[in-house]
A and B are shown apart, each in its own frame.
Chain A
């Protein structure tokens, strides 16, 4: 058992989400930075999709009532066991009665703390992920809460893992994206502007969507788009012309046109972009479209 002593900005249980229920209005949810969650679990010998804690800007202290092995990945943050400085991106032994703390990351936004065995949590539609917008999954972590360790172990603790080298600061991030499905709702200039501009991440970004500031993307059509399904990574453009990229807890359908969709594996980069960080889009056409 682990007892929560301190929580920072926001600490949520996340796994790989609950895909397959979007047609019922259920967002996919799951870790914002999925490779970081997978790596944290691999480091402690868990199933890659075991529930772990997703920290926004660090700031978590847990007291271990039994000896545990933990690993912190994602945004690189200082880790301490008791008063001893330890390291992120490695399996760390925490003796019984001792605390483990995660400080504020030096860059990036979201860190992941996995425990060997995984965090035991009740599942909603097959997932322990917390989706605050839809009200699914466990509530955010709170001081005093007791977290039970589960049985998701699949092998020995790896100690370190070269495939998940610690990321550097996120400057000049480029997201690859496929043009469409609704690029024909925009002026020709808009697609060009999306590709050529440097976009700044806005403060009101969250797990639902990352809002971007840059040149206004002008529409060629002003009628209303009938509701249609959207995916993680969809770049939707509301009436004001400033795009937002739908993220882990995105609504399942939307009524504004989507000009482009970020490649699935590039959407994880969004998890570490802080307000004020910049990004660019590298646009491509779908390979299966006739020329």
Chain B
């Protein structure tokens, strides 16, 4: 683990891999250091921001103390199969996206197999970014790693279910984007009047279902 400076009010904690990052993020949420305003996970990092510069030395000490236990594997990681900390979010999908055929071609499988791989595994929201409510989800089993489109679309309709690199995600609002679109959902990914407003908060477990099978 490395604790890196991030200005006068935050540190960026870097660990070796995704599972360690999940454990650290969960442990810090359970035992927030004094003065914390934000805690933001990334792929292999957790950013912790405090309200005053004077809180940073204490923050560094607290992160070291919490990380000691979390990274030795004594704490369950959200997303680990044995740890059912979060209720699973279920998303009904129409697998009729304009890039479904292309994705099938890239993976050298029939389109039905793309749908089977997307619906047969559990996904974990690793981190957010890009837009309010947009989560980057990794699957437990993988098998859907595809490159982004060569030229991004200028407008992707909200509710589009997409693949990009090892991740899947759902566009919460109309936006440009370069991911491969495999389907669409009516689920409201983002509702500022709901608490929490994002359906896909970091650490959440997600299953996708084919509406034709329901």
A-side residues, CB < 8 A to B, are 19-26, 124-125, 134-136, 177-182, 226-231, 233-234, 251-253, 258, 261-264, 285-289
Q: A24-B197, A228-B42 are in contact. Are A134 and B132 (CB under 8 A)?
A: yes
Whole-angstrom distance between the alpha carbons of A230 and B43 in the complex?
A: 13
Q: Are A227 and B127 in contact, CB atoms less than 8 angstroms apart?
A: yes
Can you list 25 residue pairs at the A/B interface with Cβ under 8 Å? A21-B132, A22-B49, A23-B40, A23-B41, A23-B127, A23-B128, A24-B196, A24-B197, A25-B128, A124-B192, A134-B131, A177-B7, A178-B6, A227-B43, A231-B6, A231-B49, A251-B129, A251-B130, A252-B128, A252-B129, A253-B128, A261-B5, A263-B7, A288-B56, A289-B5
Q: Which residues of the other chain, B, contact A286 by a CB distance below 8 angstroms?
A: 5, 56
CB-CB under 8 A from B44, the residues of chain A are 226, 228
Please, what's the 1-or-0 string for B43-54, where 1 marks a CB less than 8 Å from any CB in chain A? 111110100010
Once the chains bind, are B201 and A227 in contact (CB under 8 Å)? no
Binds A, one of B8-16, B68-76, B105-113, B180-188: B8-16
The answer to whether B9 touches A181, judged by C-beta atoms less than 8 angstroms apart, is no
> Please, how many angstroms separate the alpha-carbon atoms of A53 and B202 in the complex?
34
Is B140 an interface position by the 8 A CB rule? no
Which DSSP category, helix, strand, loop or mixed, fits chain B's interface? strand
List the count of A-B residue pairs having beta carbons below 8 Å apart: 126
Of the four ranges (under 10, 10 to 19, 20 to 34, 35 or more), the interface on chain B belongs to 35 or more
**Residue B209, interface by CB 8 Å:** no
B173 CB → nearest A CB, Å: 6
Residue of B nearest to A24 (CB): B198
Q: Which residues of B contact A234 (CB under 8 A)?
A: 6-7
Q: What residues of chain B have their CB less than 8 Å away from a CB belonging to chain A?
A: 4-10, 12, 14, 37-47, 49, 53, 56-57, 60, 127-136, 173, 192, 196-198, 201-202
Instruction: Chain B residues near A23: list those with CB within 8 A.
Output: 38-41, 127-128, 201-202
For B37, what are the chain A residues with a Cβ–Cβ distance below 8 Å?
Answer: 19-20
CA distance A252 to B39 in the complex (A): 11
Chain B residues with CB under 8 Å of A134's CB are 131-132
Closest to B167 in A: A227
Asked if B130 and A229 sit within 8 Å, CB to CB, the answer is: no
Nearest-Cβ distance from residue A34 to partner chain B, whole angstroms: 13
CB contact under 8 A between A227 and B132, given known A178-B7, A261-B6: no
> CB within 8 A of B130: which of A22, A25, A261?
A25
Minimum distance in angstroms from B191 CB to a CB of chain A: 11
